[in-house]
Each structure stands twice: as structure tokens, then as C-alpha cells.
Amino acid sequence: MNLVFWAGMDYITIDTTERITPEIERAILNLCNCVFTQFDPAYLKSRLTNVIDPVVTQAVADKNRLVGFKLGYRSTSTQFYSWLGGVHPDYRRRGVAQQLMDEQHSWCSANGYMAIETRTWATNTPMIILNLRAGFVIVGYETNLAGTAVVIQRKTL
């Protein structure tokens, strides 16, 4: 499905693809460098080769500029793991993250998933709130290998 909406300065097209081409991977890597302060491109590349059935939901402005994405994969036959996402700083607070989430959840429902799980740093309050407003519940808490507190959230579709 292609969804087009006005984000205050551009029309944004949202779509989902199950095939992550080298071009899409490069665009995600470039956007991650803008979104995350300590981003390791090698980590993303190694994870992409090891996940099962990766799916990316993209927000594209001007027909070719990636301004946001949500990347996830099948964790079980009925559960999807929403792994990584971000929105370019110039496009934040314009509804892009919500549109990406809505599209990802619609795609998951249409493809037989019954739940979505995600993990977020405990300090990422905006993401935790966005997830709670979208129907996620907090199901756990852990400390990752780097010692960072992580909140685990799950939503039944």
C-alpha cells in the first residue's frame, strides 16, 4: 500500500517492502547517521544478514529522499519484531513516525502476525510514549550488554 500525506513542507509517501535492495540499505545507513549519535554501520549490515524475513516501511519525500523508516523482522510465526527506526530531524513532529508505525502494523496484520514486540532504551521517552499511545504495553525491562536500560513493549494486533 502506498500512503501519501502532507507533512507540513513536503508530501510524504509511505510504503512497505519485503525486499531490502542495496539502494534501500544505503539510504537507511545514510539516514541512521543523521538520526543516531553513535551509529555503527557494520552492526546494521551484520544484523540484516542474520534476521529472518526483514521488512522495511519507508517514508520518502520528493519521490526519492528517505526521511524515515521502520525496520523489523519475523521473530516467530505469529510475532513481528520492530527492530530499528528513525525520522530525519527536519521531519520530526510532523506525524511521520506515527504514519510509519500505522503502516507497519497494518502490514503485519495483513500478513498474519498476531503481535509486535519492540525494545527501546529507557531514556527514549518519546518512543515509549508513542508506543503506549499505539496500544503497546510494557512487558519487561532489561539491561543490555552495554549496560543500557531497555524497556520491552508488546502489542497484540
Confidence of residue 6 (pLDDT cuts 50, 70, 90): low
Report percent pLDDT > 90 for the chain: 41
Confidence of residue 115 (pLDDT cuts 50, 70, 90): very high
* pLDDT above 80: residue 1: no
Spatial separation of the C-alpha atoms in residues 120 and 140, rounded to whole Å? 11
Q: Whole-number mean pLDDT of the chain?
A: 87
* pLDDT above 80: residue 20: yes
Tell me the pTM. 0.86
Domains and CATH numbers, the chain: 3-118 (3.40.630.30)
| Per-residue pLDDT, 101 | 92
Write the secondary structure of the chain as one string of H (helix), E (strand) and C (coil).
CCEEEECCCCEEEEEEECCCCHHHHHHHHHHHHHHCCCCCHHHHHHHHHHCCCCEEEEEEECCCEEEEEEEEEECCCCEEEEEEEEECHHHCCCCHHHHHHHHHHHHHHHCCCCEEEEEEECCCHHHHHHHHHCCCEEEEEEECCCCCEEEEEEEEC
Confidence of residue 27 (pLDDT cuts 50, 70, 90): confident
| Per-residue pLDDT, 3 | 55
**What cell does 152 get?**
520491552
**What cell does 147 get?**
549496560
